[in-house]
A and B are shown apart, each in its own frame.
Chain A
Amino acid sequence: MLDALVDVIPLAIVAATPLLLAVQGELVVQRSGIINLGIEGMMLVAAMTAVLAAQTTKSVLLGFAGGIGGALLIALLFGVFVIALKTDQIVTGTAINFLAIGATSFVYRELQQGAIFVQAVPRPRVDYVLPLAWIAFPIILALFLWNTSLGLRLRASGENPEAVAPVARYRAIALMIEALLAGIGGAYLALVLSSGFAENMTAGRGFIALAIVIFGRWKLKGALLGTAIFGLAAALQYALQASARGVPYHLLLAFPYLVTLLILCGVAGKVRAPESLGR
């Protein structure tokens, strides 16, 4: 059992990479005072646009660019509503998720006859995203958030919006950073983890990311730790699947969500969110 667990750890790290990217994106945006429940839809759209871009250009790099582009489109829509129109963030995020599910499923069926989702998707030869997601981005984001004046203002927008002049600008910047990360995450999901797009393929990763941000107390160290714990739990699930020791497959599928619930309950009681989060 333990051997099986060790064997699947590399797989678990790879599998948790889109989640980690989403966690970091959501951390930044929540630090600026926005809860983006629509990150789930953002990643889903990114996964689709990444595949479309990769297929039409036959380039993995442009595929990732396509993913980022798709995520930015969703960020723009979400931002217009919650930043410019100051609409309710939870309701808007939910609508964004509906929009993403509806639109991607619609486009998927429309283009299936063109076989764009069926033929082999270009895959990267070397996985550059993995070290970026686990090492470079956390360091860059930590430096940015805690050692630059822009980062300070971004965090101030989430704590005390009255203290910074154009809150909208800092929140828009945060949203763009999130779209960048979630876009890469969605593209990674489609181009590296899977071989193409499938309907609802994000499978709740965006929501799990929100839970991990809370678990990590809105800090990057905590985000990495939370994602690692979640990844290990997922690895345990793979190991159990591989050893096929009588745990029914469908119950194993529920396991990650159960772990996320436990993660949320384990720490949520003691944490303090950014003061103006959600307002």
Chain B
Amino acid sequence: MPALRGVLAALAAILLLALSGAAFGHSPRELLSILFSGSVGSAFAFQNTLLKSVPLLLTGLSVVLAFRAGVWNIGGEGQFIVGALAALLASRYGAVAALLAAMLAGAAWSSLASLMRLWRNAPEVLTTILLNFIAIHLLGWCVNGPLREQAAMYPQTDLAAASLPRYAGVVIAVVAGVVAWWLLYRTKEGLRLRATGFNSSAAEWAGVNVRAQLARAMAISGAAAGLAGGIELLGVTHRLFERFASGYGYSGIAVALLAQLHPLATLASSFFFGALVTGAGELQRTANISSAVAVFGQAVVILVLLGFEHARRAR
């Protein structure tokens, strides 16, 4: 029962959050009530959660597509950033062009890792992480240097030349989820991709070009994360600043794992983590509890699921 395991893991995370708060003298009841009211308790909070779920859904899909192919793309954060940068630069040609540029940039950035893997055998789990750091500093340079706003007041860019309706991202992300599902489970390419991840030598024997599959999965995965960055820019923040990514890329890993790497389940898991992130933001504002507790919650979810996974194998 994957769904039950997921729900239990999510509950465990919230429970542990409340206990950790209690250990530092916060009332667990108050903590939970802020977490709840700040994420889904009002129409306003619900809208915030929905907006936060959009990038999480896309970075989650990015991770699903990569992990399904057996590719360790931990680089969602960097791909998210370069996607947004490309979207900003291309925004003068319209929102559609900007989103296409975001996907291309994300795919190009992640493909750097597959190039290094295929040519030099450098493990992508490390190269993608290192590329995150490079992208973060690249963004820092852009918003402090060449792309700094005309008024030069803050280290941020000017507004993007195009924008999306606020909730357009919800539609795009949900469509992307369905497309990812269709791609993985209803096409030959998807079968090859999953076969590569399931057992790459068996797939090779069966005639799958494993190297091409790895490269393709990495590119699609990067495109999804890049698209997330583009949508966040055009639909929500409208400009870039140093902390623009704020962990969306990394959170995609937790989203994908909670969904047990299923694209449609990612719809639900991204909403859960979207609510957690939004609620955690409210905790920081009203109770001065670090919003990083959301990251803590992600860790607990993953660890609990790993425990379940072990129990299932042991049976």
Contacts and interface: CB of A to CB of B under 8 A. Distances in A.
Interface of A: 37, 81, 85-88, 90-92, 94-99, 101-103, 105-110, 199, 203-204, 207-208, 210-211, 214, 248-251, 253-254, 257-258, 260-261, 264-266, 268-269
B145 interface: yes
Contacts of A258: 134
Interface in B69-118: 72, 74, 116
Contact of B295 (A105, A107, A249): A105
Nearest to A88: B306
Interface in B115-154: 116, 119-123, 125-127, 129-131, 133-134, 137-138, 140-141, 144-145
Contact of B127 (A251, A254, A261): A261
B297 A102 contact: yes
A99 B145 contact: no
Given A108-B290, A250-B145, A98 B295 contact: yes
Given A98-B250, A106-B296, A109-B288, 8 more contacts: A81-B303, A86-B313, A87-B307, A204-B129, A248-B141, A249-B144, A251-B138, A268-B120
Contacts of B266: none
Interface string B196-212: 00000000000000000
Interface string B1-35: 00000000000000000001000100000000000
B290 A105 contact: yes
B291 to A, nearest CB: 8
A95 B122 contact: no
A238 to B, nearest CB: 16
B233 interface: no
B234 interface: no
A80 B48 CA distance: 37
11 contacts: A92-B303, A94-B302, A98-B299, A99-B300, A101-B292, A101-B295, A103-B20, A106-B296, A109-B289, A250-B138, A269-B119
Contacts, number: 142
Contact of B134 (A105, A208, A210, A254): A254
Interface residues of B, number: 48
A207 B290 contact: no
Contacts of B126: 207, 210-211, 214, 264
B254 interface: yes
Nearest to A203: B133
Contact of B309 (A87, A96, A210, A211): A87
A85 B121 contact: no
